[in-house]
């Protein structure tokens, strides 16, 4: 490569090829263990058979029809919970992110650090902590029942409320951080200008702050919606059979029933639905905004 005669040309080629050499190992890993399995899953979803007799590819599209009619409740429920969780996280964390970004002052870093604190605790342990806090005789409910604010047989565990609130807790930082990032970038001069022009605080918020923070709202919504739609831990630990989500179905089919075609078909439906949503978002937003 370093032959003296053709040095300028080979150096130029080396510069041109350099990015591809840098990309190669990482992208190869992602191709083999992300892209290929995804395609493999599509094929498996079109196979027929059982664990005993083996699976054969028969282009059995019927599985998709079956899956939709069999698990429509869980599909709809997952989307419902996902939307509720996204909305809940948005409402809870917008004022928080706003406060830290605009009035955080020298406490900014400390407050942000508090928001990511839950990440230092295992997801499972955090969710189990909620199970403990929400338990029928746990200190919250026991106290409220003790002072007569709640009937004796009131319970939170095994209800949709428990599952959704668990999800909101687990994914709140994913909403708060992008919101903070977009509010932080906001030029405060604009707000002052709005004030100077006699717009009151509410109007200034609606016309300046809110529109400028929309990229953060979009990014945060994606980052909370995607993991909450696919989650099965909260439904399993905090819910009951009436709160099963699509993730629970995939887990059951793949790991317990070993019905790989069905599990693969549901996974594929879930992923396709989310990727279409993401593509639509990316179209509005541009991918740089999402990928940093």
Partner 1 sequence: MSQEASGPATAAVADRALGIEGPAPRPARGRRKGWILPAYTALVIAYLVLPIAVMILFGFNDLKGRFNFTWQGFTLRHYRELFRFRELTTALENSLVVAAVTTLIATALGTLIALALTRHRFRGRGSTNLFIFLPMATPEVVLGASLLSLFVTFGTARGLGTVLIAHIMFTISFVVVTVKARTHGFNVEWEEAAKDLGATPWVTFWRVTFPLILPGILAAASLAFALSVDDYVVTAFNSGQTLTFPLWVFGASRFGVPPQVNVMGTIIFLAGVLLALGTVALQRRRS
Q: Which residues ranging from 136 to 175 are in contact with partner 1 (CB under 8 A)?
A: 137-138, 169, 172-173
- Residue 285 within binding range of partner 1, rule CB under 8 A: no
Retrieve residue 48's tokens: 């027929």
User: What distance in Å separates the CA atoms of residue 218 and residue 159, rounded to the nearest whole number?
Assistant: 29
Q: How far is the CB of 48 from partner 1 (least distance, A)?
A: 15
Site mask, partner 1, residues 79-118, x = CB under 8 A? -------------xx-xx-xxx--x-----x-x-xxx-xx
The sign of the dihedral angle between the CA atoms of 193, 198, 199, 202 is positive
- Residue 23 within binding range of partner 1, rule CB under 8 A: yes
- Residue 57 within binding range of partner 1, rule CB under 8 A: no
- What distances in angstroms separate CA 219 from CA 11, 87, 95, 111, one per listed residue? 41, 13, 17, 21
Kind plus residue range of the DSSP H or E element containing 127: helix 123-134
- Residue 41 within binding range of partner 1, rule CB under 8 A: yes
Q: How far is the CB of 151 from partner 1 (least distance, A)?
A: 21
Q: How far is the CB of 60 from partner 1 (least distance, A)?
A: 15
User: What distance in Å separates the CA atoms of residue 24 and residue 30, rounded to the nearest whole number?
Assistant: 10
The residue within the footprint of partner 1, chosen from 7, 13, 34, 149 (CB under 8 A), is 34
- Residue 194 within binding range of partner 1, rule CB under 8 A: yes
- What distances in angstroms separate CA 177 from CA 7, 19, 115, 144, 182, one per listed residue? 49, 31, 8, 33, 9
Using the minimum distance from each CB to partner 1, give the nearer residue, 41 or 150.
41
The residue within the footprint of partner 1, chosen from 7, 18, 185, 280 (CB under 8 A), is 18
User: What distance in Å separates the CA atoms of residue 129 and residue 166, rounded to the nearest whole number?
Assistant: 10
- Residue 267 within binding range of partner 1, rule CB under 8 A: yes
Residue 253 near residue 232 (C-beta atoms within 8 A): no
Q: How far is the CB of 105 from partner 1 (least distance, A)?
A: 10
The residue within the footprint of partner 1, chosen from 7, 13, 37, 284 (CB under 8 A), is 37
């Amino acid at each position: 490569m370093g032959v003296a005669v053709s040095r300028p040309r080979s150096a130029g080629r080396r510069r041109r090829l350099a990015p591809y050499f840098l990309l190669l190992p990482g992208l190869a890993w992602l191709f083999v263990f992300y892209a290929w399995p995804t395609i493999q899953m599509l094929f498996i979803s079109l196979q027929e058979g059982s664990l005993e007799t083996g699976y054969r590819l028969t282009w059995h599209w019927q599985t998709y029809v079956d899956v939709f009619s069999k698990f429509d409740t869980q599909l709809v429920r997952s989307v419902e919970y996902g939307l509720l969780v996204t909305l809940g996280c948005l409402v809870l964390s917008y004022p928080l992110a706003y406060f830290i970004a605009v009035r955080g002052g020298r406490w900014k870093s400390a407050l942000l650090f508090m928001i990511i604190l839950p990440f230092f605790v295992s997801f499972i342990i955090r969710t189990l902590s909620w199970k403990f806090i929400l338990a029928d005789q746990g200190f919250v409910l026991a106290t409220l029942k003790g002072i007569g604010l709640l009937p004796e047989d009131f319970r939170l565990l095994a209800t949709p409320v428990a599952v959704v609130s668990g999800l909101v807790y687990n994914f709140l930082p994913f909403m708060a951080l992008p919101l903070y990032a977009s509010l932080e970038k906001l030029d405060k001069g604009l707000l002052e200008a709005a004030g100077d022009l006699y717009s009151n605080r509410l109007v200034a918020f609606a016309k300046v702050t809110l529109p400028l923070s929309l990229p953060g709202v979009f990014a945060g919504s994606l980052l909370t919606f995607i993991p909450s739609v696919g989650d099965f831990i909260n439904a399993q630990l905090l819910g009951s059979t009436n709160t099963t989500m699509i993730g629970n179905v995939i887990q059951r089919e793949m790991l317990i029933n070993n019905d790989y075609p069905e599990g693969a078909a549901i996974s594929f439906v879930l992923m396709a639905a989310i990727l279409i949503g993401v593509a639509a978002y990316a179209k509005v937003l541009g991918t740089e905004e999402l990928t940093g």
